[in-house]
Copies of this chain bind each other. A is one copy, B any other.
């Protein structure tokens, strides 16, 4: 049994037209008109496949294909929302490959023992509303639903998640914990260079590395660049520059550690004014929880020292604290077995990015399948994966689901 390659690739192309950017990328921010159009498109596809469709209170979409019994209930999917400079594959690929899996089961008139569910999660990217992985977070922690509903749009403070769900017609009546999933499987592009570099076709993801985001606002003193002696300056920018170089060194010292300073805001940000205030958010990641904590502690210790030496004070806010999430060994083995059965080259690996699967891991057995991303490029209009890899991944998903739904 194999998926229909042409139909998968055609669906990817068709979906990419919704929110298409002129530069070849896709912009389909969560709960915008473009998101609604893509959701309507998916709902129609689900209905055409005779799935039982549900929308829950956070807008997650479910297409359920019943087997001989409702349990075990094997879920798979991903998300249709993108970042502003998004590509065609991040999220979309997992949903459309899932659709293709169901299409293939239907065409082959397979009656499964358990049931399966295709899911499109709301706002995985977090590019318009915080936090990211919102839909799967609500499923794993229903007690957070009301707080999540109140989250305001970054572009317009008068809009929140609930009002935008209502506006686009996707505030559903299914409870976020209505379904009892036994497994969750997510197929995704790697978003990194490892599979390509090692000439492998499939990654069996056994762990999502931990992610810590910490915001620091450094308070120096605004001063005239032409008249303030160096000794009289409290330059918040120099603290941040020193920190950036320290973080780079830290990445080389602690095993598996990645440190990134991707966001900086200067105030007043004027050529001839020593910066009074600088905001940064630092992104620390490590597959090992203890090492990640150690990296954060070393960074905090350094920040304390360097700030003091520049007579700069600071505020600190922990924005994200995701510890590493191990996936189900049983599911990872099932993925490896499927890849092996298809004669594909594979390895176990760690996910560097966060995914809905890590939220689902809190309530059921979960794992992920990766395929190569060319040059590791993602969250970028140049994001690309080869058709053969896209097809291989969907077949691994098909075989793994087929195994799980009859064997669990």
**A→B interface (CB under 8 Å):** 83-85, 190-193, 209, 211, 213, 222-230, 232, 235, 237-238, 240-242, 244-245, 248, 251-252, 258, 260-266, 268-275, 281, 283, 285, 319, 351-354, 376-380
Determine how close the nearest CB of chain B comes to the CB of A98; give it in whole angstroms: 22
**Cross-chain contact A262 with B252 (CB below 8 angstroms):** no
Residues of chain B lying within 8 A (CB to CB) of residue A270:
83, 262-263, 379
A213-B271, A241-B241, A271-B283 known; A352 vs B191 contact (CB < 8 Å): no
**Cross-chain contact B261 with A191 (CB below 8 angstroms):** no
Of B193, B240, B283, B379, which contacts A222 at CB under 8 A? B379
Of B235, B241, B275, which contacts A240 at CB under 8 A? B241
Q: What would be 14 A-B contacts, judged by CB atoms less than 8 Å apart?
A: A191-B224, A192-B229, A193-B227, A193-B228, A193-B232, A225-B285, A226-B285, A227-B376, A230-B252, A241-B241, A241-B242, A242-B245, A262-B269, A271-B283
**Cross-chain contact A353 with B226 (CB below 8 angstroms):** yes
**Cross-chain contact B260 with A225 (CB below 8 angstroms):** yes
Residues of chain B lying within 8 A (CB to CB) of residue A237:
244, 261-262, 264
Q: How many copies does the complex hold?
A: 2
Given A245-B245, A260-B273, A262-B273; 5 other pairs, CB 8 A cutoff: A213-B271, A224-B378, A227-B352, A238-B245, A241-B242
Given the complex of chains A and B, what is the CA–CA distance between A92 and B358 in angstroms?
61
Residues of chain B lying within 8 A (CB to CB) of residue A283:
225-226, 271-272
Determine how close the nearest CB of chain B comes to the CB of A149; give it in whole angstroms: 24
**Cross-chain contact A274 with B245 (CB below 8 angstroms):** no
Residues of chain B lying within 8 A (CB to CB) of residue A225:
258, 260, 262, 283, 285
A226-B211, A226-B285, A241-B244 known; A263 vs B266 contact (CB < 8 Å): yes
Given the complex of chains A and B, what is the CA–CA distance between A379 and B268 in angstroms?
10
Determine how close the nearest CB of chain B comes to the CB of A125; give it in whole angstroms: 10
Nearest B residue to A282 via CB reads B271
Residues of chain B lying within 8 A (CB to CB) of residue A232:
193, 376
Which of A269, A283, A351 gathers most chain B CB within 10 Å?
A: A283
**Cross-chain contact A353 with B227 (CB below 8 angstroms):** yes
**Cross-chain contact B352 with A224 (CB below 8 angstroms):** yes
Given the complex of chains A and B, what is the CA–CA distance between A240 and B81 in angstroms?
33
Determine how close the nearest CB of chain B comes to the CB of A337; give it in whole angstroms: 25
Nearest B residue to A193 via CB reads B232
**Cross-chain contact B271 with A229 (CB below 8 angstroms):** no
Residues of chain B lying within 8 A (CB to CB) of residue A262:
225, 237, 266, 269-275
A264-B237, A264-B269, A270-B263 known; A229 vs B285 contact (CB < 8 Å): no
**Cross-chain contact B252 with A245 (CB below 8 angstroms):** no
Nearest B residue to A272 via CB reads B283
Of B85, B263, B271, B281, which contacts A281 at CB under 8 A? B271
Nearest B residue to A84 via CB reads B268
Residues of chain B lying within 8 A (CB to CB) of residue A240:
241
A211-B226, A222-B380, A377-B223 known; A263 vs B258 contact (CB < 8 Å): no
Residues of chain B lying within 8 A (CB to CB) of residue A224:
191-192, 352-353, 376, 378-379
Given the complex of chains A and B, what is the CA–CA distance between A204 and B300 in angstroms?
47
Given the complex of chains A and B, what is the CA–CA distance between A354 and B222 in angstroms?
18
**Cross-chain contact A230 with B244 (CB below 8 angstroms):** no
A193-B228, A224-B376, A379-B273 known; A248 vs B238 contact (CB < 8 Å): yes
Residues of chain B lying within 8 A (CB to CB) of residue A241:
240-242, 244-245
A242-B245, A245-B238, A245-B241 known; A226 vs B258 contact (CB < 8 Å): yes
Determine how close the nearest CB of chain B comes to the CB of A55; give it in whole angstroms: 29
A270-B262, A272-B283 known; A248 vs B230 contact (CB < 8 Å): yes
